Structure 1
């Protein structure tokens, strides 16, 4: 039964991630519509995310998140050319 609960939890997290990404897309579009350059929007988003991560998980937790993101980036997960099958 534990594996069923983990699958449901994973589905819930995935759904929340999709909604959060939609919110981020809307904020990005609003910033661009107001004339803010993409580099500035990206920097502000990263700064906010790091502050919140440090607040919630401390500096070691933030460092672990950055290492994970680095590995995912190098694996091509965030590449706009990535094809999801």
Structure 2
């Protein structure tokens, strides 16, 4: 099975994203079990993520992420009952 370098990079990025999602799910579950409301957890997660992104990559990257997330929200990508066609 031969993979190009870009395919391998894509696979590695996908694996890292899956690991990051698992960490976030664990942190979310811990917060909920401690009685922290979902809205507070979400705001704290966004604030922390944007602070770290601004620190590491700058304002353009943070604004780009916000634009991407806005488009995904409008498209319904985060809806729990989303139907893929």
1:83 CA displacement: 3.3
Question: Following TM superposition, where does structure 1 have runs of at least 4 consecutive aligned residues deviating by more than 2 angstroms?
Answer: none
User: For 1:16-64, what per-residue CA distance to the aligned partner results, in whole angstroms no more than 9, with x for missing partners?
Assistant: 1111111111101111111111110111000000101111121122111
Residue in structure 1 matched with residue 54 of structure 2 by the alignment:
54
* Map 1:1-85 → 2, pairs under 5 A: 4-84=4-84
Q: Match of 1:28, SS?
A: helix
TM-score relative to the length of structure 1: 0.88
TM-score relative to the length of structure 2: 0.88
1:72 CA displacement: 1.6
- What is the distance in 2 between the residues matched to 1:16 and 1:60? 22
